[in-house]
Structure 1
């Protein structure tokens, strides 16, 4: 799935994302760079409107995988490895 398809799909399901307290979602990695293959996972950077628990985080991950039809790596900005943080934030493309 390409960046445009993911963006359209997520916008279509914005009300569902709101129920997960999602403030924003951004794609990074191979999809953001236009280098994804059929075997690529989808790297998503998520920010929330409020603190959420681990259970809700995992529910969101599985919801996104089902919706997109591909494995999703979901990460928050605070969880980014310091050595990769700037690179990821620079290539991230907001999709919600």
Structure 2
């Protein structure tokens, strides 16, 4: 199980170290980890806002975070033109660092 505060601390450091490389504007966690409801089989849901829409950057961010955290990670790029219901659900839970 991954603790919310541990993930947030990790994401703060990751954003500081990798924002320029990947164009990260905002980085956060949503879902069960953000709600502090994660259990042993929970993955970590990451939301990211980037300066440019680079799908390769998302793949690298996901793989990098997943390797460093040692747990499965899902990542979604939050953007103005996306499914508004999904965006609302993400923003409802999201904790940005």
Q: TM-score, normalised by structure 2?
A: 0.82
Q: 2:35 aligns with which of 33, 44, 47?
A: 33
Q: Between the two structures, name the one with larger relative contact order (CA 8 Å, sep ≥ 6).
A: 1
Alignment-derived partner of residue 48 in structure 2? 46
Alignment-derived partner of residue 20 in structure 1? 22
Query: Separation in 2 of the partners of 1:86 and 1:66?
Result: 28
Task: Please state which structure has a larger fraction of its residues in helix.
Answer: 1
Gaps of 5+ in 2: none
Alignment-derived partner of residue 68 in structure 1? 69
Query: Separation in 2 of the partners of 1:16 and 1:57?
Result: 12
In angstroms, what is the RMSD of aligned CA positions? 1.8
Q: Secondary structure at the match of 1:25?
A: strand
**Post-superposition shift, 1:42?**
0.5
How many residues align? The count is 94
Query: Separation in 1 of the partners of 2:31 and 2:82?
Result: 13
Cα distance change of structure 1 residues 52 and 8 upon mapping to structure 2, 3 Å threshold: same
Range that drifts further, 60-69 or 77-86: 77-86
Alignment-derived partner of residue 81 in structure 1? 83
